[in-house]
Amino acid sequence: MNLITIDGPSGSGKGTVCHILASKLGWNLLDSGALYRILAYAALQKNIALEDEKSLAALAINLNVAFISNGIGVDTLLNGENVGDKLRTETVAQAASKVASIQVVRDALLARQKAFFQAPGLIADGRDMGTVVFPDAPVKIFLDASAEERAQRRFNQLQNKGFDVNIAQILSEIKDRDYRDRNRTVAPLRPANDALEIDSTSLTIDEVVNQVLDVVALKLNLTVK
Ligand code: DC
């Protein structure tokens, strides 16, 4: 089964590692966090309260979303409009973390996520890919890094984009979101029992990718360079 799940908190390097792996292997990519972000964005736009479980679940079921490869990356379309940039704000991130803690919302998004598993294979990026969505995946990775390192990475990223940012505030937002994601009763962020845990705090992206490719070679008998 050509399926790799990569779970972990934001800033662990997961997104970048998943893109590189998908491109090296030529497999499909599921950015499940983007689904929660799109749902949160759509709810904010429609003034749906983030506690209104019924309306959020209905919105999740009817979400008209598409991920279209544009050659360099992926365009995220909501009702045909490219909303990629709008999903990356802290407001949407916090709202996504709230809607993601609701069981009926997660249930409503489950089939949509499973449908991404198509030939020739799938890299699934998220928080519960190895525990809930694809529990039978042959390769499961849990990628983590210290909160301080993850805040520093986010700080550098935003500063490079020209934003005036405060690292203490970023660290506190990261800790808030982590606490919610790791302690929620529904599908909390945690490694699957059979996941390989990688701490990327002092690793480069290439080092992480190579560690994952070593596991892929071993478990799937697939060698990629
Ligand atoms: O990975 P991300 O930052 O784009 O995810 C946004 C939010 O969605 C994050 O707070 C956790 C949540 N999420 C989740 O609960 N389950 C997933 N599989 C992916 C993301």
How close is the Cα of 100 to the center of ligand 1, in Å? Answer: 7
Amino acid (one-letter) located at 102: I
From the CA of 166, how far away is ligand 1's center (Å)? 23
**DSSP state at residue 224:** -
pLDDT of residue 149: 95
Q: Is 101 a pocket residue for ligand 1 (Cβ < 6 Å)? A: no
Which pLDDT belongs to residue 56?
98
| pLDDT of the residue at 74 | 85
160 is a domain residue:
yes
The verdict on the CB of residue 14 being under 6 Å from ligand 1 is no
Whole-number pLDDT of residue 224:
80
**Minimum CA distance residue for ligand 1 atom 5:** 33
Question: CB of 154 closer than 6 A to ligand 1?
Answer: no
Structural domain boundaries enclosing 80: 3-213
pLDDT above 80 (res 225): no
* b/e 129-148 (16+ beta carbons within 10 angstroms → b): bbbbbbeebebbbbbbbebe
Q: Which atom of ligand 1 is nearest to the CA of 128?
A: 18
Does ligand 1 lie within 6 Å of residue 97's CB atom? yes
Farthest CA pair distance, the chain: 49
**Whose C-alpha lies nearest to ligand 1, atom 16?**
127
Q: From the alpha carbon of 7, which atom of ligand 1 is closest? A: 18
Region 181-195: mean pLDDT is 91
CA contacts within 13 A on the Cβ side of 80? 0
* 44 burial level (CB within 10 Å; 0-12, 13-18, 19+): middle
Ligand 1 center from residue 127 Cα (angstroms)? 6
Asked if residue 87 belongs to a domain, the reply is yes
* Domain-embedded: residue 218: no
Instruction: Render pLDDT for 82-113 as a digit per residue (tens, 0 to 9).
Output: 999 899 888 998 899 899 999 999 999 999 99
| CATH number of the CATH domain containing 73 | 3.40.50.300
136 lies in a domain? yes
Q: Which amino acid is at 13?
A: G
Nearest CA to ligand 1 atom 11: 97
DSSP string, 133-144: I-TT-SEEEEEE
In a domain, 222, yes or no: no
DSSP single-letter state for residue 75:
E
Examine the pLDDT at 155 and tell me if it is beyond 70. yes
The reply to whether ligand 1 has any atom less than 6 angstroms from the CB of 37 is yes
Distance in Å, CA 182 to ligand 1 centroid: 11
For the Cβ of 128 lying below 6 angstroms from any atom of ligand 1, the answer is yes
| Distances 45 to 50, 51, 79, 171, 212 between C-alpha atoms, Å | 12, 15, 13, 27, 38
Q: What per-residue confidence (pLDDT) applies to 99?
A: 95
pTM check: above 0.75: yes
Per the structure, how many domains does the chain have?
1
Is 219 within the bounds of a domain? no
> Is the residue at 144 inside a domain?
yes
What are the helix (H) ranges across the chain?
Answer: 14-25, 32-45, 53-62, 90-99, 103-114, 147-160, 167-183, 205-220
Is 155 within the bounds of a domain?
A: yes
Q: Give, in order, the Cα–Cα distances in Å from 9 to each of 24, 53, 61, 92, 162.
A: 23, 24, 25, 16, 24
195 lines ligand 1 (CB under 6 A): no
